Amino acid sequence: MAQRKGKTGNPNGRPKGSPNKVTQSTKEWIQQIIDGNKEQFEQDLKNLEPKERTAIIERLLKYVTPTQQSISVEAQLQAEYEQLEKLLQDAPEEAIDEIVKRIEQLKSNSDNGQE
């Protein structure tokens, strides 16, 4: 008997963190192709014009370098605030007093047009 629409034989799905077997085998196959053709690929790159070679290398970089996550200014400030707050909680009182004195000096100098 066929499943009803919207129902599955495995309602919990694939367990979280378990590897996708198709993806893994495809990755292995592609890796074998790349490993077997490195010298040819390098020669092909050398035969390209510098502009084309640079474009190819630039496109390949996304596969070996981590993608930078964009972050809003507000989120960045919040993260820095939380880090500073933790540092201040962990710092000895004498260090905090010195930091406060230095901030007041800098503010005073700034208000008076000095550095």
Q: What is the predicted pLDDT for the residue at 112?
A: 77
Distance CA 86, CA 88 (A): 5
Region 101-107: what's the mean pLDDT? Answer: 89
Residue 43: the pLDDT is 95
Which backbone phi and psi does 8 adopt, to 5 degrees? -135, 155
Domain range annotation of the chain:
21-61, 73-111
pLDDT digits (tens, 9 = 90+) for 43-80: 999 999 999 999 999 998 888 888 877 888 888 889 89
Tokens describing residue 73: 């200014």
Pull the structure tokens for residue 44. 């092909």
Phi, psi for residue 91 in degrees, rounded to 5: -80, 150
- pTM across the whole model: 0.39
DSSP state letter for 58: H
Burial class for 63, CB neighbours closer than 10 Å (0-12, 13-18, 19+):
exposed
Mean pLDDT of 26-40: 91
